[in-house]
Amino acid sequence: MSNHQDSLYNKLNTYGQGEVYPFHMPGHKRNSQLSDSPYSYDITEIDGFDNLHRPRGVLKESMDMATEFYGTRRTYYLVNGSTCGILSAISAVVPQGGTILMARNCHKAVYNAVYLRKLKAKYVYPRKLPDLSILGGIHPKDVEDMIVANPKIKAVVITSPTYEGVVSYVKAIASVTHKYNIPLIVDEAHGAHFSMSEYFPKSAIEQGADIVIQSVHKTLPSMTQTALLHVCGDMIDLNLVERYLSIYQSSSPSYVLMASIDSCIRDVREKGPLGFIKYEENLVKFREKAEKLTHLKLLDKKILGKGAAYDLDLGKLVITVGSITYTGHDLHEELLKKYKLQMEMAASDYVIAMTSLNDTEEGFDRLIEALTEIDRDIRIREGYGQIKALKEDVAENDPTDSVDKAHKVKEAVVCMEVYEALDTETEVCDFAISSGRISAEYIYLYPPGVPVVVPGEMLDRATIDYLLKCKADGLDVCGQMDDTLNEIMVIKENWKEFSYGKNILPDGQKLLGEGYHI
Ligand SMILES: Cc1ncc(COP(=O)(O)O)c(C=O)c1O
């Protein structure tokens, strides 16, 4: 490869040879069997090597092997990530302009499908985990309530597990959707290792979902961009899935990536649950040692049964900070700069370390030793007495509400469909005074790419303050035109003419938000 001093290749090479330990994706942890140059495998659809879009030979055989291993109706290889699987699944199941019920905490790929297919989106909100700033699962009853209220819904999409590893009760949600003859799509991008051993939750494939999408590159030893789309239920038209896969996937799928999926699946299939034993032992040992920490805490199975959390992926190390002087971003920076441990992401009050079966015992030891030292430093500074509870934002909740209700997330005011908001006249507004205006942009924290603000939603004071605080805490707030978050694109004053506008305010009433002048 190019050896230019400033080349990306050189930068990657230097990083790869350095001592920074990767507690992040991809799951092969830069430690794979692929010791030769990837260039030697990089071919195109020449004789004998089949065609991903019309598989008849070696690729068909490989996908047949995967289909049998996962016990699905059909498993497809994806080289454009779970992103293209999500776009294809939704396009195949909901007709253009149709109505979809989606979890509000879905990845932006789901919103992009909604935009491209001009869908009407109804939202089901995840519950909240008590005393934490982390979202819980999707409650089956909330799904049923939404289906009953919106009989035009053609499909339901949820994310399970979430980025933090929280798993919803997929089996019960599938029973609900099937009762109304509606297919369930589960974005299981972070659960490609599920069902591989008893230590991890059961995959949505086994829980009755109709389509399941998994990023093998996230939690299994496979290269970035590799993913799987599993069709499980009879309700799905395979021809439509294949039509959309050929639209959303490259017409030159990389053989390096496809060989990586093939070899990853053969490997886990051959080793079976035994292949995960060392990994499980490392996790158990790590979690036992983490019990002794005072301020820093690991998200664990004590959350189950609360906030619609049905199960938890113990491979995700969600480390909450519990300090009054130290943020998730501080922890992320200290782990990287002082201990050379690269985390997957930082939120205001926690960080996530992603692990996989390719992690080493030495990696886990380095992380727990670093956390133990950092925890001791916080204790010396703050003492035992001041452990900050990570309070949920439920100030508006009536304390006499039932527990169920108190753990509901505040719902956004939707004024327009996403496609209407993205394709109509906009203007620029000061972000700090945009309360009452309708956003024409997404705003999300990256990772994980779940929008905090969706185009067509009304901005409000609490959301604006939250995002400004995230920015001040050093988090990566992005998606919008102005990276500094000083300004935001909003809809011009004609928003009340669109889908929802008429229903939001009684006729003739004017909304006097700070940035709204009519
Ligand atoms: C929940 C979820 N779904 C889908 C995706 C998209 O996956 P990919 O990067 O494989 O396209 C991501 C990526 O981070 C994700 O977190």
Q: pLDDT value at position 411?
A: 87
Domain assignment present for residue 250? The answer is yes
Question: Which of 215, 249, 264 is the best mutation target for the ligand 1 pocket, counting ligand atoms within 8 Å of the beta carbon and taking the most?
Answer: 215
Structure tokens at 470: 């995230």
With tokens 């649950």, the residue in question is 273
- Same domain membership, residue 268 and residue 279: no
Domain assignment present for residue 357? The answer is yes
- Identify the band that residue 404 occupies on the pLDDT scale cut at 50, 70 and 90: very low
Tell me the residue range of the domain where 181 lies: 42-272
Per-residue model confidence as pLDDT tens digits over 184-219: 999 999 999 999 999 999 999 999 999 999 999 999
Structure tokens at 490: 């909003």
- Same domain membership, residue 296 and residue 263: no
pLDDT mean across residues, the chain: 89
Domain assignment present for residue 231? The answer is yes
Cβ of residue 444 lying under 6 Å from some atom of ligand 1: no
Q: pLDDT value at position 397?
A: 33
- Same domain membership, residue 267 and residue 119: yes
Residue 16 has pLDDT above 90, yes or no: no
Kindly report the number of other CB atoms within 10 A of residue 483's CB atom: 11
- Same domain membership, residue 441 and residue 366: no
Residue of the CA atom closest to atom 13 of ligand 1: 448
Residue 46 has pLDDT above 50, yes or no: yes
- Same domain membership, residue 280 and residue 267: no
Q: Indicate the DSSP class of residue 344.
A: S
Those residues with Cβ within 8 angstroms of residue 450's Cβ, 6 or more apart along the chain or in another chain: 105, 106, 107, 108, 159, 163, 444
CA distances to 156, 172, 279 from 140, rounded to whole Å, are 11, 6, 32
Q: pLDDT value at position 331?
A: 96
- Same domain membership, residue 423 and residue 329: no
| H and E: helices and strands count for the chain | 16, 20
- Same domain membership, residue 451 and residue 357: no
Those residues with Cβ within 8 angstroms of residue 289's Cβ, 6 or more apart along the chain or in another chain: 368, 372
Domain assignment present for residue 23? The answer is no
CATH at 467: 3.90.100.10
What's the rounded mean pLDDT across residues 272-286? 97
Per-residue model confidence as pLDDT tens digits over 118-161: 999 999 999 999 888 899 999 999 999 999 999 999 999 999 99
Q: pLDDT value at position 325?
A: 85
- Same domain membership, residue 110 and residue 142: yes
- Identify the band that residue 9 occupies on the pLDDT scale cut at 50, 70 and 90: confident
Domain assignment present for residue 398? The answer is no
Residue of the CA atom closest to atom 14 of ligand 1: 448
Among residues 240, 272, 304, the one where a domain terminates is 272
Residue 508 has pLDDT above 50, yes or no: no
Question: Which of 90, 106, 107, 226 is the best mutation target for the ligand 1 pocket, counting ligand atoms within 8 Å of the beta carbon and taking the most?
Answer: 107
Those residues with Cβ within 8 angstroms of residue 382's Cβ, 6 or more apart along the chain or in another chain: 295, 323, 324, 325
Residue 500 has pLDDT above 90, yes or no: no
- Same domain membership, residue 281 and residue 218: no
Which is nearest to 105 in space by CA: 141, 137, 147?
137
Per-residue model confidence as pLDDT tens digits over 320-373: 998 778 999 999 999 999 999 999 999 889 999 999 999 999 999 999 999 999
Q: pLDDT value at position 39?
A: 85
- Angle at CA 385, nearest 5°, toward 379 and 387? 70
What's the rounded mean pLDDT across residues 287-315? 97
Instruction: Name the most confidently modeled range: 13-27, 148-162, 415-429, 478-492.
Output: 148-162
Q: pLDDT value at position 395?
A: 34
Residue 242 has pLDDT above 70, yes or no: yes
With tokens 């909604």, the residue in question is 114
Question: Which of 82, 186, 260 is the best mutation target for the ligand 1 pocket, counting ligand atoms within 8 Å of the beta carbon and taking the most?
Answer: 82
Domain assignment present for residue 460? The answer is yes
Among residues 272, 306, 328, the one where a domain terminates is 272
Among residues 208, 242, 272, the one where a domain terminates is 272
CATH at 217: 3.40.640.10
- Angle at CA 80, nearest 5°, toward 78 and 81? 75
- Same domain membership, residue 293 and residue 241: no
Residue 423 has pLDDT above 80, yes or no: yes
- Identify the band that residue 396 occupies on the pLDDT scale cut at 50, 70 and 90: very low
Number of domains present in the structure of the chain = 3
- Same domain membership, residue 425 and residue 352: no
CATH at 377: 3.90.1150.150
- Identify the band that residue 454 occupies on the pLDDT scale cut at 50, 70 and 90: very high
Cβ of residue 81 lying under 6 Å from some atom of ligand 1: yes
Those residues with Cβ within 8 angstroms of residue 453's Cβ, 6 or more apart along the chain or in another chain: 412, 439, 441, 442, 443, 444, 459, 463, 467
Domain assignment present for residue 213? The answer is yes
8 A C-beta contact, residue 307 and residue 136:
yes
Rounded Cα–Cα distance for residues 161 and 315 (Å):
11
Residue 513 has pLDDT above 50, yes or no: no
Domain assignment present for residue 352? The answer is yes
Residue 516 has pLDDT above 50, yes or no: no
- Identify the band that residue 12 occupies on the pLDDT scale cut at 50, 70 and 90: confident
Ligand 1 midpoint to CA 83 (Å): 6
Rounded Cα–Cα distance for residues 64 and 73 (Å):
10
Cβ of residue 107 lying under 6 Å from some atom of ligand 1: yes
Residue 36 has pLDDT above 60, yes or no: yes
Q: pLDDT value at position 143?
A: 98
Counted residue by residue, the chain has a size of 518
Q: pLDDT value at position 31?
A: 77
CA distances to 103, 183, 231, 247, 322 from 240, rounded to whole Å, are 23, 14, 12, 11, 48
Q: pLDDT value at position 445?
A: 82
Rounded Cα–Cα distance for residues 21 and 35 (Å):
19
Cβ of residue 85 lying under 6 Å from some atom of ligand 1: no
- Same domain membership, residue 102 and residue 208: yes
